[in-house]
Structure formats: structure tokens, C-alpha cells
């Protein structure tokens, strides 16, 4: 394993040895499988949970808490209702776009993403497997209905006319709310504000047990989705890991599986990753400029 930290956001004129080793390995393994995490979307303005020092900065929503109480769902939906406008304004960044270019050129194949923001697809990447689902869809835990998030957002807006100003940063009592979007796509609100929110119910059965179709911490990924990702891993020429700390077993298991088959594992992520010893070349550098440089290198090496 080699690890080399590149400080400059732009890879310098002298080729970095780890960058070159990684680019050459990718080049030797067309159709490389990709695994991405929150780090590829931070340059689009959606924060990650951990950051380069590896410590968790944000307390994410827990599955058990969400399904257990109506109060937890009310809090989630109030915060998420306010954050949705900002979350959906995020645009794919140069990293997402360079990855789509690498795929069009056949350098990489399918992309397994742990992200729930839909930015890979919006950048034109195909064969995206959303391991943890998507915030754009909602399911009813009572009747199983699937509900489009934009539709549910419209229903919430109708039921909560006083909340419209919140999206611009002003609470109903005139106080300012923090405008920082969080990784789950929500915005922190005071308890008193949350209590005034009329939470959404399923338009089909009336239950308040509606949940974004994402895997929260403590939830499990549907078995057939995991099996599909294992099959892709088993058939992969190499695995390229982008912007994930691999602290969650959900992603780490594919790295372990690949390494156990002798499949080379490459990583571009700032800071340490769990399972570091399984990574052949780890480029510790910002993803946007690194992926753009990789796509450029690749097109120059036909």
C-alpha cells in the first residue's frame, strides 16, 4: 500500500507518484467498479458526516428512532421540509462530471453509491446503484405505497402555510434559523418550531408512518440490492473507492470482498479510510480536481 497526501487542490505539473500509479492501474482494468460516498458531493455543498479527521461531526437520523415515535417523524419531516429546497438546488460538481466522462470512455463501469442525492445520475452516469436509496422517494410503512417526494412536499406546504418563510431562514416567531443544510438534507430547527409543524400522512391510507426511501443508520439495505452489488464486485476488474470513510459496514463489505478475491482496490478520499490495509493505492486529495485530472490523463493515454 502507498499513501501520499497531496496538499494542493490542483495536482501539480510534476506528476504525483500515487496519482500516476492509480491512473495506470485504472487504465489496466477497463470497466472498473466504483463505490462512492458523501465526499464526492461535498463540493456540491452537501456536507459529509465525518470529514478528513475521521470523527463524526453530525448526528444522523437513526432508523429505530424514526419508526418508533410519531414525535421523531414530526421532527424529521419539519426539518427536512425546510431543507428540501436547498438540497434539491445542489448541482453535480466537476468530480461527478469527470466520473461520467470516465464511464463514457469505458474506463469505469457500474457505480455503487452510498449517497441519496441523485447527483451521479444528473451528471449523466448510468448503471448507478443507490445502495441506501434516494431522498426523492418516500414509502409508507403502513400500506407500502410509494410516494414521490415532490408530491409529499406539496402536501406538506399546503398543510403548513406558516412554514414557507422558514425556507428563507425566518421562523414563524420572526427569529432566524440556521441556514446550513445537513447531510440528511435537513436543517436544524428549534423544538418549539418543530411542534407547530403538521406532519405528513400517507395520501392512500392516512398513516403518519411515511419514511423517505433511504436506509437510515441502524436500518438494513434490501437483500437483493446487496446481492446485486456483491455480484458486481465479484465480476469487477478493479474497485475504485471515492469519498467515503468506509466507517459503515454497508460499503466496507464490498472492499473486503474485492480484496479477498485479489481484485485491486484504489481510493481517492481525504483522510483515512477503514480497511486501509486493503487499499493498493490511496490518493489523499480533493475529488473534483483529482477526478478531472484522472479523466484528462485517461483521454491522453487512449
Ligand X SMILES: NC(=O)c1ccc[n+]([C@@H]2O[C@H](COP(=O)([O-])OP(=O)(O)OC[C@H]3O[C@@H](n4cnc5c(N)ncnc54)[C@H](O)[C@@H]3O)[C@@H](O)[C@H]2O)c1
Q: Hey, is 154 helix, strand or coil?
A: helix
Q: Does 275 bind ligand X (CB under 6 A)?
A: no
Distance, in Å, from the CA atom of 88 to the CA atom of 119, rounded to the nearest integer, reads: 10
Q: Does 186 bind ligand X (CB under 6 A)?
A: no
Cβ proximity to ligand X, 51 vs 172, nearer residue: 51
Residue 261 known to be catalytic: no
Q: Does 32 bind ligand X (CB under 6 A)?
A: no
Minimum separation from the CB atom of position 207 to Zn ion (A): 5
- Per CB under 5 A, residues contacting Zn ion are 140, 142-143, 145, 202, 204-205, 207
Q: H/E element holding 25?
A: helix 17-28
φ, ψ at 140 (rounded to 5°): -95, 120
Q: Angle at Cα 112 formed by Cα 182 and Cα 105, nearest 5°?
A: 115
* Orientation angle between helical segments 17-28 and 287-300, nearest 10 degrees: 60
Q: Does 48 bind ligand X (CB under 6 A)?
A: yes
Could you give the count of Cα atoms lying within 13 Å of 172 in the half-sphere of its Cβ?
A: 16
Residue 114 interacts, among Zn ion, ligand X, none and using kind-specific CB cut-offs from 5 to 8 Å, with ligand X
Q: Does 244 bind ligand X (CB under 6 A)?
A: yes
Distance, in Å, from the CA atom of 87 to the CA atom of 85, rounded to the nearest integer, reads: 6
Q: What is the separation of C-alpha 145 from the centre of its chain, rounded to a whole number of angstroms? A: 24
Q: Does 289 bind ligand X (CB under 6 A)?
A: no
Strand segments (E) across the chain: 2-5, 32-36, 108-113, 128-130, 133-140, 146-148, 210-214, 239-242, 265-268, 281-284
Site pattern 104..123 for ligand X (x: CB under 6 A): ----------xxxx------
Cβ proximity to ligand X, 18 vs 193, nearer residue: 18
* Residue number, nearest CB to ligand X: 39
Minimum separation from the CB atom of position 279 to ligand X (A): 13
Cβ proximity to Zn ion, 177 vs 202, nearer residue: 202
Residue 110 interacts, among ligand X, Zn ion, none and using kind-specific CB cut-offs from 5 to 8 Å, with none
Q: Does 139 bind ligand X (CB under 6 A)?
A: no
Say if residues 283 and 267 touch (Cβ distance below 8 Å): yes
Using CB atoms within 10 A of its CB, is residue 114 exposed (0-12), middle (13-18) or buried (19+)? buried
Residue 81 interacts, among ligand X, Zn ion, none and using kind-specific CB cut-offs from 5 to 8 Å, with none
Minimum separation from the CB atom of position 178 to ligand X (A): 17
Q: What is the largest CA-CA distance in the chain?
A: 62
Cβ proximity to ligand X, 171 vs 251, nearer residue: 251
For residue 14, count other CB atoms closer than 10 A to its CB: 6
Cβ proximity to ligand X, 72 vs 217, nearer residue: 217
Of 132, 261, 281, 301, the catalytic one is 132
Residue 145 interacts, among Zn ion, ligand X, none and using kind-specific CB cut-offs from 5 to 8 Å, with Zn ion
Q: Which of residues 54-113 bind ligand X (CB under 6 A)?
A: none
Binding site for ligand X (CB under 6 A): 37-39, 41-43, 46, 48-52, 114-117, 132, 183, 243-245, 247-248, 269-271, 286-287
Q: Which residues are catalytic?
A: 132
Amino acid at each position: 500500500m502507498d499513501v501520499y497526501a497531496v496538499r494542493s487542490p490542483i495536482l501539480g505539473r510534476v506528476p504525483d507518484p500515487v496519482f500516476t500509479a492509480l491512473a495506470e492501474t485504472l487504465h489496466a482494468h477497463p470497466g472498473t467498479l466504483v463505490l462512492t460516498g458523501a465526499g464526492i458531493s461535498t463540493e456540491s455543498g452537501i456536507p459529509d458526516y465525518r470529514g478528513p479527521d475521521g470523527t463524526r461531526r453530525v448526528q444522523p437520523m437513526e432508523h429505530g428512532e424514526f419508526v418508533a415515535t410519531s414525535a421523531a417523524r414530526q421532527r424529521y419531516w419539519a426539518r427536512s421540509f425546510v431543507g428540501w429546497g436547498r438540497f434539491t438546488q445542489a448541482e453535480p460538481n466537476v468530480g461527478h462530471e469527470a466520473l461520467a466522462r470516465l464511464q463514457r470512455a469505458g474506463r469505469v463501469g457500474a457505480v455503487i453509491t452510498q449517497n441519496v442525492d441523485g447527483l451521479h445520475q444528473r451528471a449523466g452516469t448510468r448503471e448507478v446503484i443507490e445502495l441506501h436509496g434516494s431522498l426523492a422517494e418516500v414509502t409508507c410503512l403502513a400500506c407500502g405505497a410509494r410516494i414521490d417526494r415532490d408530491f409529499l412536499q406539496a402536501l406538506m406546504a399546503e398543510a403548513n402555510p406558516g412554514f414557507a418563510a422558514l425556507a428563507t431562514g425566518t421562523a414563524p416567531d420572526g427569529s432566524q434559523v440556521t441556514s446550513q443544510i445537513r447531510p440528511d438534507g435537513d436543517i436544524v430547527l428549534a423544538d418549539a418550531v418543530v411542534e407547530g409543524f403538521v406532519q405528513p400522512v400517507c395520501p392512500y391510507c392516512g398513516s403518519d408512518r411515511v419514511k423517505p426511501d433511504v436506509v437510515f443508520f441502524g436500518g438494513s439495505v434490501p437483500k437483493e440490492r446487496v446481492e446485486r452489488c456483491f455480484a458486481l464486485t465479484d465480476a469487477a476488474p478493479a474497485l475504485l473507492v471515492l469519498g467515503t470513510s468506509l466507517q459503515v459496514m454497508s460499503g466496507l463489505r464490498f472492499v473486503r470482498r474485492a480484496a479477498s478475491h485479489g481484485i485491486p482496490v484504489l481510493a481517492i478520499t481525504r483522510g483515512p479510510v477503514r480497511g486501509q490495509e486493503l487499499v493498493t493505492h490511496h490518493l489523499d486529495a480533493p475529488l473534483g480536481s483529482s477526478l478531472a485530472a484522472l479523466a484528462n490523463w485517461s483521454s491522453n493515454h487512449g
